[in-house]
Structure 1
């Protein structure tokens, strides 16, 4: 359940539709009410939430904030209402299931404040006292506004490269590929950006169904506050390697993400998967992945039989090591399968479809991916993602470290890709790429001219089939294959607004 914030103009127009209607005069009679096609307008306000980046004293975090160029404002800003796009610290919250109460760190200055579309802005924040952030963008800076939070931890149990596209607050989130295993420390971070309290519920589902708990209902999240919850403390049942987490709110809304740390494989963020659907695309498995594990869950009443396919650079195949190429997922239970030797040196995307097209069953899914072996191993996650309908952006790309993976379904697709200027200089560049149906195209040469600092990549479908995308950022450190993968979600920079004119006569009918 994903929502786009409506601008005040959009709301006012929608309200006008309650008291008015469009008319069409014919030669044979009086005016007849007809519906006019809705209009798409740029949003004028957008909100994002970034969780606490790390509790490690050696953590180094970079925030990159960016609004794509090219979307005009619906109304324009006055001198008294200049466009803004900034992040502000949220208050600290009590840690549920951790080693004590959360602290309220001293609030730093607002980081990464965007001043104009097309110019990425970065800010650094180091150490364990960095708070969660909430942010909003207005006017011309709202359509497509995105923030990337990238953290490097070089030592300790949370060692790794942790990347997350800060998400919009919502009321419903699914997280397959979480864990309550002894070697894992998985925290779900709940951040409330609003001035009123929110109340959240957390449900856990293992291979045998729901995990019983008396601590997962009615979790209060105070206004402008964050609450991290350790999953393993929410249930008294045996530890489970594969768990699906469902976060909902009874009142209010929250931002939600899971910080996962494995004592041997490092750490990363697990972002929410796409809404339940009968088919799923998990884009951008790195070419050199040494281990891939698929985790799926069926939230409905019917079991699902899924066909597993891999979209390679040349087409779709049944991956080696997938057995029969199918996965049976029982209703209300989490299923998992290891896919050894999946990529064989070529980047790919996993495609899940009903084995019987006549029996579609909605599922949610995610991948746990490992690069490297032994002490050099590093973990990341690839959740199922929705197709890009109009535009999507990922920030904090770096020269020689970023790979953009694109997968098309249904038919060949053309997409326009724009690399912004760097945060410290450079010239934007654009190109159009054709992605074959059922194939994955991995691009590493999307670097703006003379780039200095991090830059953003914006993907816009031009024609053809549906397009799914993710970005891999690889930053090896002391021999460890540190990496993180972020799916590209549609930025919902525009909203559909009904066309109407005021006609108060309808109130008398």
Structure 2
């Protein structure tokens, strides 16, 4: 077989491995005279998600919620599997871990499913979905911790495995306990480098290089054990050199509660941090640039009336290879708001996240919100309740129309949809459509109807012994479909 034929087969195989399985069509005509056809956009047929271990607190109450939106073009049939990751303790005896009873049983597309666990021994989960349950599959763990370090409401979207992660906003200060969770879904070990950066550049670490995550396991790494330096504002970079992992940081504070910090979107010249709660009492922006040149950023807030510049906080200078922080105080001042960071001159790639604090005195709680990518075609957020859910939408560069669908409830109800117009440079906390007869929790699916980039986040709130608990998740594209090239049968390549 000639090299040309081998290259075609290898390319098609690689595409299927990365994006899921999709059928390739065979045209009725063949030969050099047939014009090339556009790629087909098809639903993915397999998806994987990884959930970190939710908490070590005996007081933890965790809910897992699963949802797959209805996707046109899917075939009948579909399965999901959620298995506990082995971890150090379980893997130590060399025996295969017996699968535990599933924490939930996902339902048909369009209806969420939920399951609960209690205590501090719940493991990380490795999940797969196939068939009609795969396109846009969304899975979240939400935990309430009534007391102790990191008490409050913690939430994290279970994420697909990858090889590169940036976490600006972590800390090794004395009042912080930050864990980096790495979960390996594959049958072979993954090897990663863990790098820390402070205001002066790279931080010397003791065990950050060649960190091994065994096959099918999850490893929590206490960041303060990697360095003797006590720093408030750090950036963590996880570079996976062999295999792939899921990664998330659990940031716990002695006085300000805690939450999960998801990875920032890839380094870019312009960034959007959508949906800062309108009642935020303190907002701290942390940014990092991996570039060899400094980044100068214009700092703006997309409010309900348009883009505004915070007084005295107009710009942020980030030195090459360093982490920089900027206190913005109560920047939203009682209105919906999103941070928009753009270059003042030369475009230099950066990553960013904010820490948000709500409440006062000893009733303060914190959450983290990273810069994110646009919604794209579609995105979903799960575990929403009849009260205590806020959806924020922002369109920094142009007016956009957005369709929002509230699904049926996990225990009953009928889906409802509504369309919104988001004006240029604004953020709106939209009035959500109400599912009729709602029982249980429901999912929100966001679908832009125009080409203008739309960014979104969802905030959950809950009172926990008088504490204003909250958690925020962004809504990047759910990657439920993939463009698959249309191939042709051309026997002439065998003669070349």
TM normalised by structure 1 equals: 0.90
Q: Report what 2:10 is aligned to.
A: none
Q: Report what 2:335 is aligned to.
A: 346
- 1:422-452 CA deviation, whole Å, 9 max, x = no partner? 1111110001100011000102433312211
Q: Report what 2:425 is aligned to.
A: 438
- 1:231-254 CA deviation, whole Å, 9 max, x = no partner? 111013x21100001011111110
Q: Report what 1:337 is aligned to.
A: 326
Q: How much has 1:196 moved relative to structure 2?
A: 1.4
CA–CA separation in structure 2 for the residues paired with 1:35 and 1:277: 33
Question: Contact 1:321–1:341 (CA<8 Å) still a contact in 2?
Answer: no
CA–CA separation in structure 1 for the residues paired with 2:265 and 2:341: 13
SS at match of 2:492: helix
Q: Report what 1:286 is aligned to.
A: 277
Question: Contact 1:49–1:166 (CA<8 Å) still a contact in 2?
Answer: yes
Question: Contact 1:395–1:457 (CA<8 Å) still a contact in 2?
Answer: yes
Q: Report what 1:27 is aligned to.
A: none
Q: Report what 2:192 is aligned to.
A: 200
1:473 corresponds to 2:468: no
Q: Report what 1:171 is aligned to.
A: 163
Question: Contact 1:202–1:217 (CA<8 Å) still a contact in 2?
Answer: yes
Alignment of 1:94-113 (within 5 A): 108-113=100-105
Q: How many residues align?
A: 479
Question: Contact 1:43–1:142 (CA<8 Å) still a contact in 2?
Answer: yes
Question: Contact 1:186–1:260 (CA<8 Å) still a contact in 2?
Answer: yes
1:494 corresponds to 2:494: no
Backbone CA RMSD of aligned residues: 2.3
SS at match of 2:59: coil
1:8 corresponds to 2:21: yes
SS at match of 1:289: coil
Q: How much has 1:392 moved relative to structure 2?
A: 0.2
Q: Report what 2:116 is aligned to.
A: 124
CA–CA separation in structure 2 for the residues paired with 1:211 and 1:302: 19
Segments of structure 1 that go 5 or more residues without pairing to the other structure are: 25-30
Question: Contact 1:297–1:332 (CA<8 Å) still a contact in 2?
Answer: yes
Q: Report what 2:232 is aligned to.
A: 241
SS at match of 1:70: coil
SS at match of 1:507: helix
Question: Contact 2:22–2:484 (CA<8 Å) still a contact in 1?
Answer: no
CA–CA separation in structure 2 for the residues paired with 1:173 and 1:444: 34
Question: Contact 2:20–2:45 (CA<8 Å) still a contact in 1?
Answer: yes
Q: How much has 1:111 moved relative to structure 2?
A: 1.9
Alignment of 1:419-434 (within 5 A): 419-434=406-421
CA–CA separation in structure 2 for the residues paired with 1:4 and 1:452: 38
Q: Report what 1:139 is aligned to.
A: 131
Q: Report what 1:155 is aligned to.
A: 147
Alignment of 1:250-289 (within 5 A): 250-289=241-280
- 1:181-223 CA deviation, whole Å, 9 max, x = no partner? 1111100000011111111111000011000113101111111
Deviates more, 1:214-223 or 1:397-406: 214-223
1:482 corresponds to 2:489: no
CA–CA separation in structure 1 for the residues paired with 2:121 and 2:203: 33
1:182 corresponds to 2:174: yes
SS at match of 1:505: helix
Q: How much has 1:7 moved relative to structure 2?
A: 2.6
CA–CA separation in structure 1 for the residues paired with 2:426 and 2:17: 30
CA–CA separation in structure 2 for the residues paired with 1:278 and 1:23: 45
Question: Contact 2:21–2:44 (CA<8 Å) still a contact in 1?
Answer: no
CA–CA separation in structure 2 for the residues paired with 1:297 and 1:130: 33
Question: Contact 1:5–1:46 (CA<8 Å) still a contact in 2?
Answer: no
Alignment of 1:36-115 (within 5 A): 36-73=37-74, 76-77=75-76, 82-93=77-88, 108-115=100-107
